[in-house]
A and B are shown apart, each in its own frame.
Chain A
Amino acid sequence: MAAIIMIDLKNVTKEFSDTLALNHINLHFDNKGVFTIIGPSGAGKTTLLKILALLLKPTKGKIFVNNVNVDNNMRHSLRRKFTMVFQNALFFNSNVHDNISYGLKIRNLPSDEVEKRIRDVLKRFGLIELEKKLMSELSVGQMQRVSLARAFVLEPDILFLDEPTANLDPENNSIMEKEILSFSKTKPVVMSTHNIMQIYRIADRVAFLSDGSLIDIGEKGILEDPQDECIKRFVAGETGYLNNNC
């Protein structure tokens, strides 16, 4: 089994024109399991995931992967080991098979290997009958299952999920959580979510983000008796909290 990938963020700040999305974030991942990033809307969860997945560059600060400072030349090769699933099922304007095969084809894998992996993942996610359907013909739940299948088929070393189960019905939610847990037994999963119950079900560690700053980080137990007022309100699900007024 490949060694677990280690990622460190050192004082990472991300600014978009006049908005501070992330403010001096320090994080360390070196373990399998599900690491969840929680916080209100606009807290910077998606930006943090994109920086971790090497899709965005920090304005300030550094990213280290296996203790090596990530520079521009390394980004592409590292991204082949990382895969991110986006919040709103994002897909190419083609059918399920072509969407899932894209990542395998650009890796120039032999066609029999591509087809074998696609068969396996279609079966695993209950997508066999949808293989030739256009993505636009699928339900939201089916689209999100394809998104996860498209990521799993690449057998990444680390998986980044941006609210992967948002807006899903219980059946699709259950399929997704089962697969995420299965993956996390051997490799790390970094996932953002709003769903407190989901955190209790599948998370191992939790980081709480608000206004681009990391408020707390630890085992999911930090949510049971939170010391910070922001986290208390988030857990209690107080109305108005989602306006990010910590």
Chain B
Amino acid sequence: MNMITEIVSSFFEALNLVFSGDSFVIDIALRSIYISGFATILALGFGIPIAMIISFREFFGKNIIKWIFNISLGFPTVTLGLMLFLLFSRSGPLGVFGILYTPTGIIIGQSILVTPIMVSFSVSALESVNPEIRNLAKTLGASDFQASIMALIEGAKGVSLAIVGSFNRAVSELGIALMIGGNIRGFTRVLTTTIALETRRGEITQSIAIAIVLLFTIAGVNIVMSLIKRLWLR
């Protein structure tokens, strides 16, 4: 059987694996969504306030901070994984917390990885909101904070892109999941680490199945966010 035939055959077997509800595949997919979803929520928690400060305040060094977040968009996941490994390893400064090789470690790593996406995309979205919107809210009686929240709501469509982009980056990265998570079966094994492992073991069908699940996961999150945008963010 030539290579192409093998890939096509594997593809259909993979589809069968996905749609038959294979517990191994479902378990890994749910863990990936949980870990990357949590990382995205964490990044949202500190990324949005940072983006609001950058967008709505004037301060010395603002452009430098924006530039740092922008260049961090392409930060290599393996490099970040290595840095966090050194921090979290038993002899590292944060080794005492026992975070290495745990889902918590991956969540922290992925949230750091996607924060520049959250901040840069959100700043771009918020800066495109008419600056007079904050003045409008203020003249209707809003405090500075309430006016900023109103501007955030006005820029919500752009911010939702930041959320989707952050989740996509988190769920599809490999370096941090591998180096901080350790790819422990049933504990820290996620979609990307499984694809890497199964490919190395020559289990192409399994690899393709997991890759399809990964693509479906990304597509699913995008569809959900699009529906939210359509229903609530007219």
Q: A residues engaging B (CB < 8 A)? A: 50, 53, 55, 76, 79-80, 82-84, 86, 90-94, 102-103, 106-107, 134, 150-151, 154, 160
Contacts and interface: CB of A to CB of B under 8 A. Distances in A.
Contacts of A102: 137, 140, 150
Interface size class of B (residues with CB under 8 A): 10 to 19
User: Interface residues of B: mostly helix, strand, loop or mixed?
Assistant: helix
B141 interface: yes
A103 B140 contact: yes
Contact of A134 (B141, B144, B234): B234
Given A90-B130, A93-B154, A103 B141 contact: yes
A90 B132 contact: yes
B142 interface: yes
B150 to A, nearest CB: 7
Contact of B139 (A84, A91, A94, A134): A84
B138 interface: yes
B146 interface: yes
B154 A92 contact: yes
A53 B139 contact: yes
B133 A76 contact: no
Contacts of B130: 90
A154 B136 contact: no
B226 interface: no
B143 interface: yes
Contacts of A134: 234
B138 A90 contact: no
B135 interface: yes
10 contacts: A55-B138, A90-B130, A102-B137, A102-B140, A103-B140, A106-B141, A106-B142, A134-B234, A151-B139, A154-B141
Interface of B: 130, 132-133, 135-144, 146, 150, 153-154, 234
Chain A CB within 10 A, most for which of B137, B142, B150: B142
Nearest to B150: A92
A83 B139 contact: yes
Contact of B143 (A50, A76, A90, A160): A76
A150 B142 CA distance: 14
A53 B138 CA distance: 10
Given A50-B135, A55-B135, A86-B136, A79 B141 contact: yes
A150 B140 contact: yes
Report the 6 A-B pairs with minimum CB-CB distance, sorted nearest first. Answer: A103-B140, A84-B139, A80-B141, A55-B135, A90-B136, A103-B141
A84 B135 CA distance: 9
B141 A93 contact: no
Contacts of A91: 136
Chain A CB within 10 A, most for which of B137, B139, B144, B153: B139
Nearest to B142: A106
A173 B135 CA distance: 24
A79 B138 contact: yes
A154 B142 CA distance: 12
A144 to B, nearest CB: 14
Chain A CB within 10 A, most for which of B140, B141, B144, B154: B140
